[in-house]
Amino acid sequence: MVDPILFRAGMARLGAAVCVISTDGPAGRRGFTASAVCSVTDEPPTLIVCVNRSAATNAVLKANGVLCVNILTGQHIGMADLFARSEVLDRFADDSAWTTLFTGAPALRDALASLDCRISEVNEIGTHSVFFCQVESMRLLDRMEGLVYFDRCYHRLSPSTAA
């Protein structure tokens, strides 16, 4: 078996979009920064979100049954850091930055895209829960600068202007 430290080093070389995953419902309002998000199929529109089983938000997601994947822009490094912190903070203090779509999960107003989802299935694999999420509604902005996590750092990503 591959050493977990070596595996994590290899995965650090796999660039991924930076997202804030948010939820609200009977178990409360929570959010966290994630890069373990991936599309599964477009019929029905479904994606996966992987969450450490020891994270407090894991149980909240399961109880609420809904989440919103907010894909961050290059302007959101501070937001990504805020939602990545382990301390209990009021991450939603700036109420004007948030709205809701169909499920009631918080949607970041200026996210590159917000995918509002109902959790349809959860699989437990090793240290993580894999949430299968059916997209109920979404909103796209025209901004094209993304934020990716690569080699344990944030990087702004813009479309190439080369001819």
Rg over CA atoms, the chain? 16
Cα separations (Å) of 106 from 21, 26, 109, 154?
Answer: 9, 14, 9, 23
Mean pLDDT score across all residues of the chain: 92
d(CA 85, CA 149): 16
Q: 44: cis peptide before it, omega within 30°?
A: yes
Considering only CA atoms, which of 25, 28, 154, 13 is closest in space to residue 79?
154
Kindly state the DSSP code that residue 24 receives in the 8-state scheme. Answer: -
Considering only CA atoms, which of 132, 137, 104, 124 is closest in space to residue 23?
104
Look at residue 162 and tell me whether its pLDDT is greater than 60.
no
State what percent of residues in the chain have pLDDT above 70: 96
At residue 12, the pLDDT reads 85
At residue 15, the pLDDT reads 86
Q: Give 158 or 160, the one with higher predicted confidence.
A: 158
Q: Which domains does the chain have, with CATH numbers?
A: 4-157 (2.30.110.10)
At residue 41, the pLDDT reads 95
The owner of tokens 């917000």 is: 114
At residue 37, the pLDDT reads 97
At residue 160, the pLDDT reads 66
Do 124 and 62 touch, CB atoms closer than 8 A?
no
At residue 78, the pLDDT reads 93
The owner of tokens 């089983």 is: 53
Look at residue 161 and tell me whether its pLDDT is greater than 60.
no
At residue 129, the pLDDT reads 98
What does the block give as tokens for 121?
């299935």
**pLDDT band at residue 88 using 50, 70 and 90 as cut-offs:** low
